[in-house]
Chain A
Amino acid sequence: MNKARQNPLNSAAAHAVLIVYTIIALFPVFVIIVNSFKTRKAIFREPLALPSADSFSLIGYRTVMEQGDFFLYFQNSMIVTVVSLFLVLLFGAMAAFALSEYRFKGNALMGLYLALGIMIPIRIGTVAILEMMVASGLVNTLMALILVYTAQGLPLAVFILSEFMRQVSDDLKNAGRIDGLSEYTIFFRLVLPLVRPAMATVAVFNMIPIWNDLWFPLILAPSEGTKTLTLGSQVFIGQFVTDWNAVLSALSLAILPVLILYVIFSRQLIRGITSGAVK
């Protein structure tokens, strides 16, 4: 920031607000991670203390590794999240391109219809979805989850991406047409790279709810082979006894992959923002 326009008081206040917010936001994560490395007694005696030589224990992680097939759950969650995100971005971007680029009868109506899903929670249709999955024999498969999450993510993706696609220069697309590029090439090679920041936004918005979802895995794919991480962690939470070491360890591990995915996408976000600003 420019020195001449900088007021030290304002700047200090801004930083204070940001620091307080960061502490509030990160505190639960901090508590989870710290306590996952402590003995059960230490967790209850001093929940906020850092693990000491006395209270340090990997018992939680050991339980997680030994009980249930944790790596399989992990893999399931990863497959479901990545494949759903890929499908949401692919089909969302294609629909958005069609809506923003082509004039056809009912264009506005179609856009409205596709955006309707933003307002209606997909969980309302759970019973119908379950019936459909049973009828098509998809219960207890990862495919069932992928299909549901793709449907859940599409409305917002179409809505956000079509707004961004409208801003892509018409001249550029027309230049491609005159040079003999197919509509698919124009879409994949010219338009998609230019809306990459918007794609990253959509990806981040969709990723976290899918990763954390408990509802649909519980209903559509509760079998041992298709459990997701969130569902798998529930074994440690009982009605009368909860293995807090294991729960906290499982949660700590579950944070990692989302964190990595988020870093990848957010870098795209930042690159998109700055490249637009300095042009």
Chain B
Amino acid sequence: MTALTLSNVCKSFGKVDVLKNIDLQVEDGEFVVFVGPSGCGKSTLLRVIAGLEDATSGDIRIGGQLVNQTPPAKRGIAMVFQSYALYPHLTVRDNMALALKQEGQPRDVIDARVSEASRMLNLEPYLQRRPAELSGGQRQRVAIGRAIVRQPKLFLFDEPLSNLDAALRMNTRIEIANLHRTLKGSMIYVTHDQTEAMTLADKIVVLRDGRVEQVGSPMELYNNPANQFVAGFLGAPSMNFLPAARVGAEGGRTIGIRPEHLTIAADGPLSGKVVHVEELGGDTNVIVDLGKEEKLTVRLFGQHHVSPDSPVSLGYDPQNAFMFDQEGRRVA
């Protein structure tokens, strides 16, 4: 069964079209990540799915049912917000129980589900506290708990990790991945962070200017990007783009080479000057200026000592290069 089907969904605010003809399927138990630069419409799309915004046109089906006219509470969804959005006047337990109370669930069901969720998220010691007495990570876990207790057909996450610091972000990321494995729920996750997208997703949806650019598994998108935008958006450091004529390559206008596919080679076809070196321990990023404002990033694995301002020649394997045409479409 499909958890979510979007067909031809459009959304405009006045004269501005934010979403343009979105078609998408989310299968049962799938973890789908919407990723794209800010302003690409990914959060709006999530809000349209949640029912917080009405779609201007198109159909939204959750679990096979048309929900265009259904209020958010009746759509069988649960949402986790970036700012946690916990109710400040309720304890952790009541925060999690509120939606079930509103649904009119019996008391023992509510108690069972809340204790199950708090056990899963290690929230048991904090059940009587109020959100103000919790740390950021704990608050986010309560927000996730509030979603879990509803046993929704579809989980929606709106940049849930953006307010956490780097170490906590990684831990919570792993926790969410584990949660997905144990709950086997269908999840939609919005982020602008491509690392989160690559590590969590079964399927990534890359959005730009309200359009779906490409849909696929993380490795599919990485190894086989449909266009220059997707190629440049996924992967860190991002892909290098050069006019194809510069390296004498045929069959396209722009050539794209990932930083890890460039090598420092004395007889390489590209030569320039090292402008900056980033030594990260595990790998080393070398930024090379080819002149004419063209800069390339080379990613070397392991530790290398390259001094800035030294001349350098670069080589690459044409097999690992991507060719794009004038409109940025992938041609080879």
Contact = CB atoms under 8 A, between A and B. Distances in A.
Interface of A: 169, 171-172, 174-181, 189-190, 193-194
B103 A175 contact: no
Contact of A193 (B47, B85, B89, B98): B89
Nearest to A193: B89
A176 to B, nearest CB: 8
B88 A179 contact: no
Nearest to A190: B87
Contact of A180 (B81, B85, B103): B103
A175 B85 contact: yes
A172 B87 contact: yes
Contact of B50 (A176, A178, A189, A193): A178
A179 B73 contact: yes
Contact of B83 (A171, A179, A181): A171
A175 B81 contact: yes
Contacts of A177: 52, 71-73
Contact of A178 (B79, B83, B88, B89): B79
Instruction: Give the one of A174, A176, A179 with max B CB within 10 A.
Output: A179
B10 interface: no
A189 B72 CA distance: 19
Given A178-B72, A179-B73, A180-B103, A194 B88 contact: yes
Instruction: Give the one of B47, B74, B87 with max A CB within 10 A.
Output: B87
Is chain A's binding surface mostly helix, strand, loop or mixed? helix
Interface string B77-113: 1110111111111000000001100110000000000
A171 B86 CA distance: 9
A181 B85 contact: no
A107 B290 CA distance: 56
A61 B185 CA distance: 76
Contacts of A174: 47, 50, 52, 72, 79, 81, 85
A180 B99 contact: yes
Interface string B28-62: 00000000000000000001001010000000000
A171 B81 contact: yes
B91 to A, nearest CB: 14
Given A169-B83, A172-B87, A190-B87, A178 B102 contact: no
Nearest to B156: A178
Interface residues on chain B, size class: 20 to 34
11 contacts: A171-B82, A174-B81, A175-B81, A175-B87, A176-B87, A177-B72, A178-B52, A178-B99, A179-B73, A179-B98, A179-B146
Given A177-B52, A178-B73, A193 B102 contact: no
Interface of B: 47, 50, 52, 71-74, 77-79, 81-89, 98-99, 102-103, 146, 158
Given A169-B83, A181-B102, 8 more contacts: A177-B52, A178-B52, A179-B99, A179-B146, A180-B102, A181-B73, A181-B98, A189-B87
B85 A172 contact: yes
B281 to A, nearest CB: 37
A194 B99 CA distance: 21
Contacts of A181: 73, 98, 102
Contacts of B78: 178
B62 to A, nearest CB: 13
Contact of A175 (B47, B74, B79, B89): B79
A179 B98 CA distance: 7
Contact of A189 (B47, B82, B89): B89
Contacts of A176: 87
A208 B74 CA distance: 47
A225 B71 CA distance: 52
Listed from nearest, the 9 A-B pairs whose CB atoms lie closest are A180-B73, A180-B102, A171-B85, A179-B99, A175-B85, A171-B81, A172-B85, A178-B72, A171-B83
A256 B4 CA distance: 64
A172 B90 CA distance: 13
B89 to A, nearest CB: 6
Contacts of B87: 172, 175-176, 189-190
Given A178-B78, A180-B99, A169 B52 contact: no
A60 to B, nearest CB: 48
Instruction: Give the one of B47, B79, B146 with max A CB within 10 A.
Output: B79
A235 to B, nearest CB: 49
B182 to A, nearest CB: 22
A172 B98 CA distance: 13
B102 A179 contact: yes
Contacts of B98: 179, 181
